[in-house]
Structure 1
Amino acid sequence: MEEISLREYFFILRKRLGLILILTIVAVATSGIVSYFVLEPEYQTFTTLMVGKPKDYQSESKLEYNELLLNQKLVSTYGELVKSRVVVDQVIKNLNLDMSFKIFTEKVNVNLVKDTEIIKIQVMDTDPKLAAEIANETAEVFMDSVKTIMKVENVQVIDKAQPPENPVKPRPKLNMAIAGILGIMAGVFLAFLLEYMDNTLKTPEDIEKHLGLPVLGAIPMVKDE
């Protein structure tokens, strides 16, 4: 029974192969057109900050363990401060950006490196130069805000953001590969669905299979000359 069932599946797929290929080609072509000509490229860059000045680590005296723990705890607090309205509104004002607080926070992402004093400010934008400017300005405004609000000067820029050369989105090849897989899956599903809905008898084998009756004879189809 299992061998017959698998053979039937193979015949169904072979019969509907054209449909599966058409759906796959359409899916891949549509994904390629959208990825290359519709979606706007987005660029990502980042600036790295460290809580605690590097010179403290280079001094002859060892940095106290309690101070290290304090700096690591301050990282999460500082991460929230980067996304605060005080910092965001000042960055928008300094760069004369035409965007709202919500749009700005969607472009800027703050990553805290676990068990370290490192803060990464990542910015994604369609303009690579603007993305770098936003990242660097956010870092500067954030450090000024720390000095003003918390009355401390313990944040240092490690790496400044640079305008990226290659976009991170969209990824046309990956999108087209995914679309091809989805197209094949949709084609196979539709092939079995059409076969399931087709209740006509086409061959003598169908009569024996579905009606349980033997075939005594068949009338051939004769084409008119």
Structure 2
Amino acid sequence: MIKTEDYMREFVLIFFSQQRVIIWTTVAVFALSAAVAMFWPPTYMVEGSVLVKGKRSMRSPESLENVQLRTVLVDKEDLNSEAEILTSLDVVRLALDNLRQEGQAYAGRDFSEEQIQALAGSIRDGIKTVILPNSNIIEVKLYGKDAGLAQAVLNEVMASYVRRRRDVFNPKGMEEFFAGQVGQFDKGLQEEERRLLSLAEKSGSADAQQEITNNLTLKMELERQLYAARSEWTDRRKFADHISNILTSDGIQFFSFIDNLSIIHLGDQLQQLVVERGQALRVYHPESRQVARIDEQIENLNATLKNEVRTYKEGIESRIRVLEDVATTLEQDIANLESKNLRLYEGHVAHQRVQREMALRSQSFETFSQRLQEARIGSGTEATNLFSISILSWPKTPASPIFPQANKVIPLGLLAGFITGCCLGFLREYFDHTFKRPEDAERYAALPALFSIPLDQ
């Protein structure tokens, strides 16, 4: 990009020099956004809201005590329980059956029990509940491609919720409902416990994390031993090769560098004979009997020394082979530990996932167990439902989809296209190092501009 102090002028020049890229990019992105706005299948959202209110406690006419009346407050757990009832599979299944019986939706089609359960599950997954902050209002939303169908489904779900809640919070019905929920969550907890046992049996460890730590410590020790074995193998291999080179060389060698008593003793004797031969040569002729006798002793002792060195070298070679076997065994043990740690880690991750699921199920189990105890207490007294609900707003057919919205998608597409085009234009200008104006030649090449030829000529 051209560096100059007149940024506005440069910006305008770049804009007009790259206007084709900018315009075509803007048009392409705008056309794409327009196609999305016009041809993308619309998604509708229908929503309703439920208000949960606490009731004022009533004093029994048979009570002789002057008990102060109080209003039961609705806490977050109560709202979560209401949301759970609203989105329960029983409520959705009841709403689906009513819709089919009344012919409002899914009528005229034969469904198997598995298909009905799957359809009810998909509807339940599409229902989202949100507890509005600092309020006792539960907002219910359902998304769908058919606005009328979504409105009918959510409307019937909320109506079924009201009927189902009336049955549930009847002392007898309440106790049966919560007992069923408690049994369902208890069964789920037992299944999760069996999964944990199965994972422990599969991994062969009750505490995978501790075993992984122990295996890592053992692996470090094995790697240290492997390093020591390889270092010793390298040193002994070099030492054996050095001995082999000396054994194959000519001349007399004393092998004084070998730390072996027998070899050191033979080497000292050989060295003494060599010294004795040198002293004899000062007195006798090299071919004399005295010198020949010493030469014979030197030759025999040198052969004995080399045989002793070869025996010593064979011991080193044997140790080298042992070190090779040790290194191979250690490498295999390390590989087995790594493979075992990988399996243990996979089991540990699965174990944590099951534990999280168990925590959620346990929390739900405790909540419904508490509600079951309250229901049993209420069934033996004159207590009635402590909470009441009212539908603040029933679902209505939306006038327009939530996506795509042409009045938002098209302007955003136009803006995004223009910004993208400008970015592409500036990038293209930045990587274009050709001279574009006469003064560029004077500024960067220090050459005068004689004349310029228009591009279209």
TM-score in terms of structure 2 length: 0.41
What is the one-letter code of the residue matched to 2:85? L
Cα displacement (A) at 1:191: 0.7
Q: Which has the larger radius of gyration?
A: 2
Residues 1:19 and 2:21 are matched in the alignment = yes
| Unpaired runs of at least 5, structure 1 | 58-63
Structure 2 counterparts to residues 28-177 of structure 1, below 5 A:
28-36=30-38, 38-52=39-53, 66-67=71-72, 69-70=73-74, 73-95=77-99, 100=119, 103-105=122-124, 107-146=126-165, 147=168, 148=173, 149-150=177-178, 152=385, 154-177=388-411
Q: State the SS of the aligned residue for 1:52.
A: strand
- Identify which range, 111-120 or 142-151, moves more after superposition: 142-151
Residue by residue, what CA displacement relative to the aligned partner does 1:160-187 show, whole Å, maximum 9, x if unpaired?
A: 2233333333201210111111111111
Residue by residue, what CA displacement relative to the aligned partner does 1:89-145 show, whole Å, maximum 9, x if unpaired?
A: 444454355764664245322122223222222223222221222112222333344
Residues 1:182 and 2:416 are matched in the alignment = yes
Find the counterpart in structure 2 of residue 217 from structure 1.
Answer: 450
What is the one-letter code of the residue matched to 1:25? V
- Identify which range, 183-192 or 141-150, moves more after superposition: 141-150
Q: State the SS of the aligned residue for 1:206.
A: helix
- Identify which range, 118-127 or 183-192, moves more after superposition: 118-127
Residue by residue, what CA displacement relative to the aligned partner does 1:20-62 show, whole Å, maximum 9, x if unpaired?
A: 12221222222112211x2223333223322238xx68xxxxx
Cα RMSD (Å): 3.2
Q: State the SS of the aligned residue for 1:134.
A: helix
Distance of aligned partners of 1:176 and 1:111 in 2 relative to their CA distance in 1, 3 Å threshold: same
Q: Distance in 2 between matches of 1:4 and 1:162?
A: 58
Residues 1:195 and 2:214 are matched in the alignment = no
Q: Distance in 2 between matches of 1:165 and 1:24?
A: 31
Q: Percent identity?
A: 20
Q: State the SS of the aligned residue for 1:154.
A: strand
Q: Is the 8 A contact 2:52 2:74 kept in 1?
A: no
Distance of aligned partners of 1:218 and 1:50 in 2 relative to their CA distance in 1, 3 Å threshold: closer
TM-score in terms of structure 1 length: 0.76
Distance of aligned partners of 1:127 and 1:216 in 2 relative to their CA distance in 1, 3 Å threshold: closer
Find the counterpart in structure 1 of residue 297 from structure 2.
Answer: none
Q: Distance in 2 between matches of 1:77 and 1:106?
A: 17
Q: Is the 8 A contact 2:52 2:136 kept in 1?
A: yes
Distance of aligned partners of 1:102 and 1:192 in 2 relative to their CA distance in 1, 3 Å threshold: farther
Find the counterpart in structure 1 of residue 6 from structure 2.
Answer: 4
Q: How many residues align?
A: 212
Q: Distance in 1 between matches of 2:416 and 2:159?
A: 46
Distance of aligned partners of 1:91 and 1:185 in 2 relative to their CA distance in 1, 3 Å threshold: same
Q: State the SS of the aligned residue for 1:48.
A: strand
